[in-house]
Amino acid sequence: MEQFSSAQDEEGLSSTTEVIIDVQDFDNLNPYFQHNLYETTVQENWMGSVPSVHPEAIKALDGDRGINETLAYSISSVSPRKYQSNFLIDFNTGVIAVVQWLDREEIGSVLLGIKASQQDDSQKTADSTLLVHIGDAAEAPVFSNDTYAAQIFNIAPYKYPVVKLKATDPDVGETETLRYSLVEPSSMFDVEPSSGQVYVVSAVGESGKVSLQVKATDILGLYDITTVEVTVIESGSSNVAVLSLNMAVNTVEDNAPQVEESLGRALGWTVRIMSVTSDAELFQREVQPKTYVSLIAMEPDSTAVLPKEEVKERLQSEGESVRTELGKVFGPGLVVSVEEGSTGTGLRSDNQVTVITLGAFLALFMALVPVSVLLTRRFSKGNGNERASLTLETNDMLTRM
C-alpha cells in the first residue's frame, strides 16, 4: 500500500515523501476445498491414478490471502471401511490412486473422506469427499471346474445325460445368457446350448476314454473352456433287464435317481437306468399307466455289466424288497413286474411295428367315418339313389384299405 506524507515548518516551507506500507495477512484461517463433493469412475480392474475427477481435480487452498502455506493431503475415511487398503493419496498433490482391484459385483461405489492440512500447523485443516463409482468391466465366463469326469455305457440311448456343466459370468446379471458348445464336433456327444447338459448322440460299438472340450460364451464373445473326460464302458442290449411300473412315465423320469438308489439297496448292486419309456406313446391298450424301466447292474466298485438273466433272477428273488424300496419312492399301490424281451430298451420289436401299423389304420378309419357321415347328411336332401350310391362307394373304399 502506498501513502504520501508531508511536513511544514513555521515559515510555511514544506516537504513531501512517499511511504510504502507492506500489509501482511496473519495466518489465522483454515485451508478450504473449492467443492464439497468430487466424483470419479474407475473400471473394476483399474490400477493406478484415477483417470479423471469432476467437477475438477482435487485441490485445497490456503484461506489466508497471499500466504499459501504448503498443504498436505490424506485420506481421512473410507466407506465401506474394508476398502481402505484399496486407495492411496499423493501427500503433496492430492491425486488419488487405486492400488488394489475393485469388484463391481461386490461393490458399486466407495466414499472417501479427503483432508488437507497445513504442514506448519496440523490444526488448520479442510475436508471434502470423493465418491468413487466402480464401472463393470467385461469379464470372461468361468466354469466351476477345470475338468469334469463321467461314465456311460455304449448302449446308452440318444439324449442320455452324461454330465451337466456350469459356468458363471462375473458380469452382473449375464449368467443366464451364456451359450454352451463343443470346441470340436463329436459324433458321440453333444451339449445343450442353454443348459450345459452334455448328452449322448451315439456310443454304439465304442469303448475307452473320450475327451471333449466344451466352451461357454457370453454375449460379448468372451469365453472359457473346460474338459470333459468320458469313460465309455462296453456293454450290450443283451445285458439290459426291464421292469414295468404302474406309474406315469413322467413320474418315473422325475424320480430316476431315487429309483436307481432304491434298486441298488434291494439288489445289493450298482444299478443304472438306460431308458424310461411307455407304451402309451404307441397305443393306449390299458386303463392303468405302464412305464418300462430299462436298466443294467454291476457289482459294487466294478464296471463289468452283469448278464440280464442274472439280474432278472435277483429282481424276482428279491421281489418283496424291490417293491418295498420302490414303494418308498412312489407310495402304496405300486405294481412291479419283471418283463421279458427288450420292451422299453428303445429297440422296436416286430410286435411294436404291428401296433404302430394297426394304430395308423385305426386313426385313418376314425378320420374317414366323420367324412362319410358329413357327406351322407349333405346329400340327404337329394334322391335316395344318390344317398345309397355315395354310402356304398365310401364303404367300398374302406374295404379296399
Task: Give the residue ranges of DSSP H helices in 204-340.
Answer: 249-254, 256-267, 308-317, 319-330
Does an H or E element contain 360, and which? helix 350-378
Q: How far apart are the first and last CA of the chain?
A: 125
Q: Indicate whether 229 and 241 sit together in one domain.
A: no
Range of 156's domain? 142-233
Joined together, the cell numbers standing for residue 391 give 354310402
Residue in the structure block whose three cell numbers are 466298485? 301
Question: Closest Cα to residue 153, out of 54, 272, 244, 320?
Answer: 272
Residue ending a domain, among 178, 209, 233, is 233
Average pLDDT (67-88) is 91
Domain count, the chain: 4
Residue ending a domain, among 135, 151, 166, is 135
Q: Indicate whether 247 and 333 sit together in one domain.
A: yes
Per-residue pLDDT tens over the stretch 186-195: 999 999 999 9
Domain membership of residue 221 (yes or no) is yes
Joined together, the cell numbers standing for residue 295 give 436298466
CATH number at residue 161: 2.60.40.60
Residue 255, Cβ neighbours under 10 Å: how many? 17
Per-residue pLDDT tens over the stretch 40-51: 999 888 899 998
Residue ending a domain, among 305, 338, 371, is 338
Q: Please give the pLDDT value at position 219.
A: 87
Domain membership of residue 11 (yes or no) is no
Identity of the residue numbered 300: P
Per-residue pLDDT tens over the stretch 13-31: 777 777 777 666 556 688 9
Q: Indicate whether 112 and 146 sit together in one domain.
A: no
Q: Indicate whether 36 and 130 sit together in one domain.
A: yes
Q: 146 with 226: CB under 8 angstroms?
A: yes
- pLDDT band at 365, cuts 50/70/90? very low
Q: What is the distance between the alpha carbons of residues 171 and 180, in angstroms, rounded to a whole number?
A: 17
CATH number at residue 298: 3.30.70.3310
Domain membership of residue 21 (yes or no) is no
Q: How many residues does the chain have?
A: 401
Q: Indicate whether 242 and 329 sit together in one domain.
A: yes
Of residues 263 and 205, more confidently modeled:
263
Answering whether pTM is above 0.85, one says: no
Which residues pair with residue 241 across a beta bridge?
Answer: 295
Q: Indicate whether 115 and 173 sit together in one domain.
A: no
Q: What is the distance between the alpha carbons of residues 109 and 115, in angstroms, rounded to a whole number?
A: 20
Mention every residue, 6+ apart, whose C-beta is less than 8 A from residue 382: none
